[in-house]
Amino acid sequence: MELEGRSALVTGASQGIGESIALALARRGMRVYAGVRSVDDGERLAAAAGTITAVRLDICEPSDVKAAAARIEAEVGAAGLDVLVNNAGALTLAPIEHVTLDELRHLFEVNVLGQVAVIQATLPLLRQAGGRIVNIGSDAAKFTLPLGGPYGASKAAFDIIGVALRREVREQGVTVVAFQPGSVTTRLWDRILADLRAGRSTWSDHPSYRGFAAGVTAVAARGRHKGQSPDAVAAAVLRLVAMRRPPVLQRMGWDARVRSLTIDLLPTRMVDNMIIKRLTARDTGSV
C-alpha cells in the first residue's frame, strides 16, 4: 500500500505504543487521526507531526466513538478510511479468586467492547477505501500466567472477534491483521510493578498467591527492562500497513514466539508444571 496521502485512525495514541504508531504513520505521509483522552496529549502529538489530527476518543464512551467517526467521515469524504489501528487497551493483574467484577468488566469494556464499537463505527469508511485493520493483541491470550487470567481472557475474546471479522470482511475488500508484540517497555508496566512491589492489592500478601506475585513481578521487571521499544513496535506496524499482502497473524519478539511454541509443542500438564515451578522459585531472576 502506498501510504502518502492515505488516512489512518490510531486508538490509544496518548502515549506508549499508540503514540509511536501515530508518529510513524504520519512521518510516512499519512493523515493520522490520533485518538487521545486529553487536550495536552493532542496538542503534543499535533505539534510533533503536521499531518496528525488529535481526536477526543475514549473508546468506552459511545458519544466519543460516534463523534470521532463522524469527523473522520466529514474530512475524508468518498475516499474513506484506509487504516484502523486498534491499540487502546487496559491491563490488570489479579488471581481469579480476588479480581473484582468491576475490574473484570473494565478490562472487557476496554479490550473487547470498546474495540468493537470503534470497528462498527468505522467499518463503512474502511469498506469505501478497501482499507486495513490492525488489531494490537497479546500472546497472553494464548500463554497465560497466574494472575494474568482476566487480562488474557479479554485479549483472547478480542482475538476470536478478530478472526471472525477477518473472514466476514475479506470479500468486502477489508484486510484484518492480528499483531502480537512481546514485552514492550511502556510506562504501563511502571504502574503495575509499583503496585505489585508495594503490595497495594489486597491479595498480594496472601500466602496462596505471594509466590506468584513475586514471580510475576520478576517477569514484568525483566520485560520492562529488556522488552522492545514502542518505536520498534511502531516500525513493525508500519510494515504491516504498507505490505501488499500482510500475514493474518504477526508475532514480534523472541519471547512471544517462544511462548507460543511452548503452548503448541509441549503437553499441557508439562507447561503448567513449568510455569508454576518457575514463578514460585526462590530465585525469581531465573523466570
Q: Are residues 89 and 69 in contact, defined by beta-carbon separation less than 8 angstroms? A: no
- pLDDT on residue 77: 96
Pair 250, 177: CB distance under 8 Å: yes
pLDDT at position 27 is 95
pLDDT at 286: 43
Rounded CA-CA distance 166/173 in Å is: 10
Domain ranges of the chain: 7-281
**Sheet holding 7-10: strands in order across?**
52-56, 31-36, 7-10, 83-86, 132-136, 175-181, 249-252
DSSP state of 87: -
Catalytic residues: 151
User: What integer pLDDT is reported at residue 207 of this predicted model?
Assistant: 86
User: The domain 7-281 is classified under which CATH number: 3.50.50.60, 3.40.50.720, 3.90.1150.10, 3.30.300.30?
Assistant: 3.40.50.720
What is the predicted pLDDT for the residue at 199? 63
pLDDT (tens, 9 = 90+) of the chain, 287 residues, equals 789 999 999 999 999 999 999 999 999 999 999 999 988 998 999 899 989 999 999 999 999 999 999 999 999 999 999 999 999 999 988 999 999 999 999 999 999 999 999 999 999 999 999 999 999 999 999 999 999 999 999 999 999 999 999 999 999 999 999 999 988 887 776 777 777 766 667 787 788 888 888 888 888 787 777 788 999 999 999 999 999 999 999 999 888 889 999 999 999 999 999 999 988 874 444 44
Report CA-CA distances (Å) from 153 to 10, 74, 160, 210, 259. 23, 36, 11, 22, 16
Q: How far is CA 85 from the centre of its chain?
A: 9
Q: How far, in Å, CA of 203 to CA of 180, rounded?
A: 29
Which amino acid, one-letter code, is at 24?
A
| DSSP for residue 227 | S
Q: Which residues pair with 35 in a beta bridge?
A: 55
